[in-house]
């Protein structure tokens, strides 16, 4: 095959194997070992922290698990071990694994389908909030160094069939190693995966690949076309003569956790303004998801969490139904968008700069209402304000300079470098600012009471981990997410009149995002086939 007698390399013809470059397969195996051993440090850290890996048997299991991941990656890369594919595929895996390791290792998040949805739906502002020197260093070490070596590595020229044979043998060999290890370690493997379900989402970068594949499968499985209409029979219940039309403002909070609201018993004064108003804070409300992308569509759906997650088709939402019933609808977004909810109703984005203080949503609001169709307004108005709220990790950006009650504040987005008290200060300042924004919103509604029967309902989309059990941010799979990410505040105004005592007695009733759709329809006095009075949190106390 080769011509050992040739003194000069250049005389090989391209059809023959050359010995002066790397075989793509070798690069693939090296990359698999690198990623398994180094880019999976958050997984190794988590596994080695488990009590069951403290023994020699446990240590051998962790080692075997590492070899399994290396074998799986080698099998995958053997499929791409060709001159023109190996480098791009290795580069992609190295980068995916390095970014994955940074976010998992720094924030305690895991990478599953939901997290990947969040990543794909994120906007440049959110990305800027997450960037740090620490991230650059981490990604540089795990991906930059091997990428540099990869880029400089000359590749051997190969003949097709011998290479195909080698790739196939490597693929079979790697799968055999994997199968043998699964067999040998099955007891430990199944126990660990069962008892620590989030571990599987730490396997890097297979978690990202799986999530991308799952998302692609989901979007293929959904029939194309517009969402199924709802509320085809929706109508407005007759009002007493002379009664004002309803105006309901739903404020969708962001990343606010219930236990940091003074109204719910938090020891710090995070609700100084709402405390002075006739509000009711529901104390036991659970979110539908642990991220904006999962919670928002679920909150505005008539289906409720269980049926929403099992749905075969997408449906229209609360906004479509209210508009179909004949009322005016307006979505004001001060964050990363309405996730498709407001596509068919009037909507406006108020967040164009970097900081996007939530009070901006109240500026010029009268003019925005005036611009809605007059005959629809006469029947009623549904306003949705989507807050920036307490969106992390840069909590210190979520309150204006003159409203920082709690000092000092952590001013980095590298949360685990923050002094814990300073981190909480920054977060609590964002909650106190939300308190101010809600009080301002109630003031605006009070000024409109002559024309409208006004109501405000505030509910956050999900909570946030602030370092409990070394977890930060949000977005863990619902089944394993701690209550900090799921227990959300919900506040109703006004609490007055003959029904106030009854409503106040509902304070500790267990509620969830499932109740939002039906409670809003109840307040607006809209009936439809989709309305379920049992899920209307305010129905029990409504004067009829
Ligand atoms: Zn959110």
Give 37-57 pLDDT, tens digit per residue: 999 999 999 999 888 888 898
C-alpha torsion sign, points 139, 141, 143, 148:
positive
Where residue 503 falls among pLDDT bands split at 50, 70, 90?
very high
Cα of 326 to ligand 1 centre, how many Å? Answer: 30
In the numeric block, which tokens belong to residue 298? 């679920």
Q: Which residue has the tokens 């590492």?
A: 66
pLDDT at position 449:
96
In 196-263, where do the E strands start and end?
A: 235-236, 246-253
Cα of 534 to ligand 1 centre, how many Å? Answer: 27
Cα of 323 to ligand 1 centre, how many Å? Answer: 25
Cα of 122 to ligand 1 centre, how many Å? Answer: 11
- Find the distance separating the first CA and the last CA of the chain, reported in whole Å: 93
Cα of 117 to ligand 1 centre, how many Å? Answer: 12
What is the Cα–Cα distance from 390 to 434, expressed in whole angstroms? 8
DSSP code per residue over 68-108? HHHHHHHHHHHTT-STTTHHHHHHHHHHHHHHHHHHHHHH-
| Burial status of residue 393 (CB atoms within 10 A of its CB: 0-12, 13-18, 19 or more) | buried
Burial 48-70 (b: 16+ CB within 10 A, else e): eeeeebeeeebeebbebbbbbbb
Cα of 408 to ligand 1 centre, how many Å? Answer: 25
Cα of 118 to ligand 1 centre, how many Å? Answer: 10
The answer on pLDDT for 194 being more than 50 is yes
Q: Of 159-163, 404-408, 426-430, which range is least confident? A: 159-163
Average per-residue pLDDT for the chain = 91
Decide: 101 and 35 in contact? Cβ < 8 Å: no
Name which of 460, 459, 390 is nearest 425 in CA terms: 390
Cα of 129 to ligand 1 centre, how many Å? Answer: 14
Mean pLDDT (whole number) for 323-348? 95
Q: Which residue has the tokens 């939002």?
A: 516
Cα of 522 to ligand 1 centre, how many Å? Answer: 25
Cα of 462 to ligand 1 centre, how many Å? Answer: 6
Cα of 291 to ligand 1 centre, how many Å? Answer: 5
Cα of 390 to ligand 1 centre, how many Å? Answer: 9
Cα of 473 to ligand 1 centre, how many Å? Answer: 10
pLDDT at position 10:
44
In the numeric block, which tokens belong to residue 257? 């956790």
Cα of 420 to ligand 1 centre, how many Å? Answer: 22
Cα of 405 to ligand 1 centre, how many Å? Answer: 24
CB atoms within 10 A of CB 199: 18
Cα of 228 to ligand 1 centre, how many Å? Answer: 25
The answer on pLDDT for 8 being more than 70 is no
Within 8 A by CB and 6+ apart from 112, the residues are 201, 207, 211, 477
Cα of 298 to ligand 1 centre, how many Å? Answer: 12
Cα of 230 to ligand 1 centre, how many Å? Answer: 25
- At 273 the three-state DSSP class reads coil
Cα of 335 to ligand 1 centre, how many Å? Answer: 9
Cα of 164 to ligand 1 centre, how many Å? Answer: 48
Where residue 535 falls among pLDDT bands split at 50, 70, 90?
very high
Q: Which residue has the tokens 């108003």?
A: 277
pLDDT at position 498:
86
Cα of 343 to ligand 1 centre, how many Å? Answer: 19
pLDDT at position 97:
95
Cα of 312 to ligand 1 centre, how many Å? Answer: 24
Ion ligand 1 residue ranges (Cβ < 5 Å): 254, 292, 461
The percent helix, strand, coil of the chain (3-state, each to 5) is: 50, 10, 35
Cα of 481 to ligand 1 centre, how many Å? Answer: 15
Cα of 23 to ligand 1 centre, how many Å? Answer: 47
Cα of 511 to ligand 1 centre, how many Å? Answer: 19
Cα of 391 to ligand 1 centre, how many Å? Answer: 7
Give 394-419 pLDDT, tens digit per residue: 999 999 999 999 999 999 887 877 89
The answer on pLDDT for 197 being more than 90 is no
Cα of 460 to ligand 1 centre, how many Å? Answer: 8
In 135-274, where do the E strands start and end?
A: 235-236, 246-253
Using DSSP bridges, classify how beta strands 235-236 and 280-286 pair: parallel, antiparallel or unpaired: unpaired
Cα of 336 to ligand 1 centre, how many Å? Answer: 9
Q: How many CA atoms lie within 13 A of 184 on its CB side?
A: 15
Cα of 235 to ligand 1 centre, how many Å? Answer: 32
Cα of 125 to ligand 1 centre, how many Å? Answer: 14
Cα of 63 to ligand 1 centre, how many Å? Answer: 38
**Is 0.75 surpassed by the pTM of this model?**
yes
The residue length of the chain stands at: 544
Where residue 224 falls among pLDDT bands split at 50, 70, 90?
low
Cα of 429 to ligand 1 centre, how many Å? Answer: 18
Cα of 279 to ligand 1 centre, how many Å? Answer: 23
**Greater model confidence, 130 or 79:** 79
Q: What angle do CA 19, 20, 25 make, to 5 degrees?
A: 70
Cα of 392 to ligand 1 centre, how many Å? Answer: 9
| Burial status of residue 513 (CB atoms within 10 A of its CB: 0-12, 13-18, 19 or more) | buried
């Amino acid at each position: 095959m080769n011509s050992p007698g040739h003194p000069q390399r250049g005389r090989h013809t391209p059809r023959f194997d050359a010995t002066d470059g790397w075989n793509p397969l070798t690069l693939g195996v090296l990359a698999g070992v690198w990623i398994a051993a180094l880019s999976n440090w958050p997984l190794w850290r988590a596994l080695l922290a488990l009590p069951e890996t403290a023994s020699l048997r446990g240590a051998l299991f962790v080692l075997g698990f590492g070899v399994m991941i290396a074998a799986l990656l080698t099998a995958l890369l053997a499929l791409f071990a060709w001159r023109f594919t190996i480098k791009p595929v290795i580069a992609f895996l190295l980068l995916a694994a390095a970014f994955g390791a940074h976010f998992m290792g720094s924030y305690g998040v895991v990478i599953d389908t939901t997290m990947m949805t969040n990543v794909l739906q994120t906007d440049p502002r959110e990305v800027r909030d997450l960037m740090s020197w620490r991230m650059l260093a981490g990604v540089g070490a795990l991906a930059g160094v091997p990428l540099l070596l990869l880029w400089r590595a000359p590749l051997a020229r190969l003949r097709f069939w011998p290479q195909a044979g080698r790739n196939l043998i490597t693929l079979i060999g790697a799968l055999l190693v994997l199968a043998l290890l699964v067999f040998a370690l099955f007891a430990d493997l199944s126990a660990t995966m069962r008892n620590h379900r989030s571990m599987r989402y730490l396997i890097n970068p297979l978690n990202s690949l799986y999530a991308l594949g799952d998302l692609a499968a989901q979007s293929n499985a959904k029939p194309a076309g517009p969402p199924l209409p709802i509320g085809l029979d929706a109508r407005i219940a007759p009002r007493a003569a002379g009664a004002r039309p309803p105006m309901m403002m739903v404020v969708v909070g962001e990343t606010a956790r219930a236990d940091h609201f003074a109204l719910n018993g938090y020891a710090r004064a995070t609700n100084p303004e709402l405390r002075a108003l006739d509000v009711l804070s529901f104390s036991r409300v659970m979110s539908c998801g642990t991220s904006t992308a999962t919670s928002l569509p679920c909150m505005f759906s008539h289906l409720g969490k269980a049926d929403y997650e099992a749905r075969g088709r997408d449906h229209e939402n609360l906004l479509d139904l209210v508009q179909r019933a004949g009322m005016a609808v307006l979505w004001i977004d001060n964050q990363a968008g309405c996730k498709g909810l407001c596509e068919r109703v009037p909507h406006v984005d108020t967040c164009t700069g970097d900081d996007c203080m939530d009070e901006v949503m109240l500026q010029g609001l009268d003019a925005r209402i005036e611009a809605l169709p007059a005959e629809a307004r006469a029947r009623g108005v549904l306003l949705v304000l989507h807050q920036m709220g307490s969106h992390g990790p840069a909590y210190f950006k979520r309150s204006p300079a003159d409203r920082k009650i709690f000092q000092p504040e952590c001013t980095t987005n590298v949360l685990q470098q923050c002094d814990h008290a300073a981190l909480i200060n920054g977060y609590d300042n964002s909650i106190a600012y939300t308190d101010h924004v809600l009080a301002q919103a109630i003031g605006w509604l009070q000024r409109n009471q002559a024309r409208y029967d006004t109501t405000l309902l505030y509910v956050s989309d999900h909570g946030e981990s602030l370092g409990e059990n070394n977890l930060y941010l949000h977005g863990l799979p619902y089944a394993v997410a701690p209550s900090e990410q799921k227990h959300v505040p919900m506040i109703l105004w006004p609490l007055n009149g003959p029904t106030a005592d009854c409503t106040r007695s509902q304070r500790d009733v267990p509620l969830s995002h499932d109740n939002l759709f039906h409670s809003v329809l109840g307040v607006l006095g809209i009936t439809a086939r989709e309305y379920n009075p049992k899920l209307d949190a305010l129905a029990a106390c409504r004067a009829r």
